[in-house]
């Protein structure tokens, strides 16, 4: 029986900490504010937006939704983005992507001020993850994985970690963040030969393959901690599943994040944490 690394416990702890920080900031006259910049009404965006608004409300962070119509002109979009960049009362900007085709997404991504890039999507934010400096913010899912490991006091220094997946939203940044904590990291990907030999040799396995239930018992051994970043709808089982075969992994390993109820929920909290951090910089 593995210990379940539940996201809710991490979220609760973060909420208490952030609510306190927000109170202190407000006493200093700073009202932490997240601006959400959304074009159109994609179901995914609306769902994430509702979650972010709820999490912000819980800790006293103000949310300002800037919803633009699907057919907004590129000019009007960049005008709005620029306005949010320049507005000192806005501390963080969550810009939903991909943007409609008629808006230059790459230009938009890097026009966003790194200091307000609470979603960690700009080149400067990614440079900060690579160089371990505060140029912007880490991608939220990668930091959520780190926050779970930290909350449950899983040792990292000197430990072997296998990261499965090399995307810019999770695999690569989490590998760097683990290395900055003195873990010895191996990044596995689609071209890696014999992944099980690498994962079995690791103390911690972070799975972000993007392939539902692709990691079974042959990849794992007792004593390990498994962080499952995947989340997909399994039609056959009629439920949400991770990238790990939970039923096979759970009896073997020491600790594992459930799906749902693991990394996913913490991601939104990290977004809010970044807004509070961005606001705190205004008081320095």
Interacting residues toward a second copy by CB under 8 A? 123-124, 126-131, 135, 157-158, 160, 166, 168, 172, 176, 179, 182, 184-189, 191-193, 198
DSSP string, the chain: -PEE--HHHHHHHHHHHHHHHHHHHHHTT---EEEEEEES--HHHHHHHHHHHHHHHHHT-EEEEEEE-TT--HHHHHHHHHHHHH-TT--EEEE-SSPPTTS-HHHHHHHS-GGG-TT--SHHHHHHHHHTS-SS---HHHHHHHHHHHHTT---TT-EEEEE---TTTHHHHHHHHHHTT-EEEEE-TT-S-HHHHHHT-SEEEE--SSTT-B-GGG--TT-EEEE---EEETTTTEEE-SB-HHHHTTTSSEE--SSSSHHHHHHHHHHHHHHHHHHHTT-
Q: In this complex, which beta carbon is closest to a second copy, that of residue 223 or of residue 251? A: 223
Q: How far is the CB of 66 from a second copy (least distance, A)?
A: 27
* Cβ at position 186, least distance to a second copy in Å: 4
Nearer to a second copy, 26 or 189 (CB): 189
* Cα separation, 68 vs 81, whole angstroms: 11
- Residues in Cβ contact with 124 at an 8 Å cutoff, skipping those fewer than 6 apart: 114, 117, 135, 136
Nearer to a second copy, 155 or 251 (CB): 155
* Residue 262 marked ligand-binding: no
- Give whichever of 53 and 179 is closer to a second copy, judged by the CB atom: 179
Least gap, CB of 127 to a second copy (angstroms): 4
Residue 231 among known ligand-binding residues: yes
Residue 29 marked ligand-binding: no
Pick 118 or 126: Cβ nearer a second copy: 126
Q: Give the nearer residue to a second copy in terms of CB position, either 129 or 271.
A: 129
261: left (phi over 0), alpha (psi -120 to 50) or beta: left
Q: What residues are paired with 35 via a beta bridge?
A: 64, 93
In 3D space, the residue among 78, 85, 109 whose CA is nearest the CA of residue 95 turns out to be 109
Q: Is 167 annotated as a binding residue?
A: yes
Nearer to a second copy, 14 or 204 (CB): 204
CB 162 → a second copy: shortest distance, Å? 9
- State in angstroms the smallest separation of the CB of 172 from a second copy: 7
CB of 185 to a second copy, least distance (A): 6
CB of 191 to a second copy, least distance (A): 4
Known binding residues for NADP(+) are: 165-167, 231
């Amino acid at each position: 029986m593995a210990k379940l690394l539940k996201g809710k416990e991490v979220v609760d702890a973060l909420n208490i900490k952030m609510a306190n920080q927000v109170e202190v900031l407000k006493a200093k006259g700073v009202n932490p504010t997240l601006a959400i910049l959304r074009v159109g009404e994609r179901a995914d965006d609306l769902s994430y937006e509702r979650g972010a608004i709820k999490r912000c409300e819980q800790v006293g962070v103000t949310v300002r939704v800037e919803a633009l119509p699907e057919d907004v002109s590129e000019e009007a979009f960049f005008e709005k983005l620029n306005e949010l960049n320049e507005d000192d009362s806005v501390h963080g900007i969550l810009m939903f992507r991909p943007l409609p085709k008629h808006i230059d997404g790459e230009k938009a991504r890097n026009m966003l001020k790194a200091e307000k890039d609470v979603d960690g999507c700009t080149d400067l934010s990614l440079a900060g993850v690579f160089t371990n400096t505060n140029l912007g913010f880490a991608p939220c899912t990668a930091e959520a994985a780190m926050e779970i490991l930290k909350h449950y006091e899983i040792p990292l220094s000197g430990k072997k970690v296998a990261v499965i997946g090399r995307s810019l939203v999770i695999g690569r940044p989490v590998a760097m963040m683990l290395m900055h904590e003195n873990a010895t990291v191996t990044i596995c990907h689609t071209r890696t030969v014999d992944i099980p030999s690498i994962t079995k040799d690791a103390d911690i396995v972070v799975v972000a393959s993007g392939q539902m239930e692709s990691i079974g018992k042959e990849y794992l051994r007792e004593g390990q901690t498994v962080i499952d970043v995947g989340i997909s709808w399994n039609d056959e089982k009629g439920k949400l599943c991770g990238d790990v075969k939970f039923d096979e992994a759970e009896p073997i390993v020491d600790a594992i994040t459930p799906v749902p109820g693991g990394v996913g929920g913490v991601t939104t909290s990290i977004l809010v944490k970044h807004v509070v951090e961005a606001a705190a910089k205004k008081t320095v």
